[in-house]
Amino acid sequence: MRPTLTLFCGPPGAGKTTVARRLEDEGRGTRIATDDWQARLGAPHTDGEFHERLQGALYEHALELVRAGVDVILEDGLWLPGERAEKFADARAAGALISWHVFDIPESELRRRLEKRNSDGAAEAYPVSRAELVPALELFTPPSEAELAAVDEVIVHRG
């Protein structure tokens, strides 16, 4: 049986971590989350350089697991078409099926969720202010029809 690489597409506060944890609890794969590992290693969320290096290392590990036949839940936002194309191509090269969770959440709901997350103060939860959300939303590119057609399963989450 082919392994599945579960991917996510959504801005901060969309619910990616909540869904990824639920999938892991259901036995749908090993969850790999850069934010969680960064917190575990004691690196501040503001250390973007460390985050990028860690994310790359965890991604390589995820591909090793997939090549070994392990289902993986890769909890990254995949905001840009280029990074999505890379993940899709690598998954296919590793022989994996692709399950893609796409989050289509209104900005007002994202703000509400982020305010709650920030006030809860969980160590692994990356705090995102309203001021940081605006440029993130400007950078985020929703998936195209071609991208949606390129995967084996698409699950759309609406707020």
Q: DSSP string of 74-129?
A: E-----SHHHHHHHHHHHHHTT-EEEEEEEE--HHHHHHHHHHHHHHT-TTSPP--
The residue extents of the domains of the chain are 4-158
**What tens digit of pLDDT does each residue of 21-43 get?**
999 999 999 999 998 999 899 99
Instruction: Give this prediction's pTM.
Output: 0.90
What confidence score (pLDDT) does residue 137 get? 79
Question: Which pLDDT score, from 0 to 100, does residue 156 have?
Answer: 96
Residue 35 pLDDT: 87
**DSSP annotation of 6:** E
Residues of the chain with confidence (pLDDT) below 70: 118, 121-129
Pairing outcome for strands 4-9 and 30-32: unpaired
Domain 4-158: give its CATH code.
Answer: 3.40.50.300
